[in-house]
Amino acid sequence: MEEMIIMSINLHLFVIATTILLALYMIYASNKLDNEVIYINRIKYLHPQYLVLVSAIAFTGIVIMAVNQFVLKPSLILMLVGVTIIIYTSIKKHLIRKNSNTNDEESMRELRAFVKKKYIGDIIIMLFVGIISFALK
């Protein structure tokens, strides 16, 4: 049983690291890609993969909770709040992307600024929650 808990935690950390790497790439793309059509297509095709990774984080967290017999801890509440914030900002980013026009410079600037803030915030949330969770154990 102990091996399953360790494996689940390692898988959880691996998925978090992969999500952070994808978020870093999205920040890089919003800074370096000058062509608006290529940038919108990158966001349109990579954001679903990001959401799959976020849901994998939630799923592996639920597996760890189930193995620990659903004991409610403060770190668990912090993780749930973090995932909720990430999903909320992802929905907001999707709405901004839907309303942006590649010909309108102002809407693209607004989208790029929001994407940078969103992914930097997501990275900070994931790192903060991870550090706090391991500190509370």
Are the beta carbons of 129 and 83 closer than 8 angstroms?
A: no
Question: Domain-by-domain residue ranges, the chain?
Answer: 2-136
- DSSP notation for 86-123: HHHHHHHHHHHHHH--TT-HHHHHHHHHHHHHHHHHHH
Statement: residue 27 has pLDDT above 90: yes
Statement: residue 103 has pLDDT above 90: no
- What pLDDT score does 61 carry? 87
Residue 137 banded pLDDT, cuts 50, 70, 90: low
Average pLDDT over residues 17-35: 92
User: Which long-range contacts does 31-34 make (Cβ < 8 Å, 24+ apart)?
Assistant: 31/116
**Burial (CB count <10 Å: 0-12, 13-18, 19+), residue 67:** middle
Are the beta carbons of 26 and 115 closer than 8 angstroms?
A: yes
Q: Which two tokens stand for residue 125?
A: 């949330």
Contact partners, residue 114, CB within 8 Å, separation at least 6: 92, 93, 96
Q: Between 3 and 128, whose confidence is greater?
A: 128
At residue 10, the 3 state secondary structure works out as helix
pTM, two decimals, is 0.88
Half-sphere exposure of 52 (CA within 13 A, CB side): 7
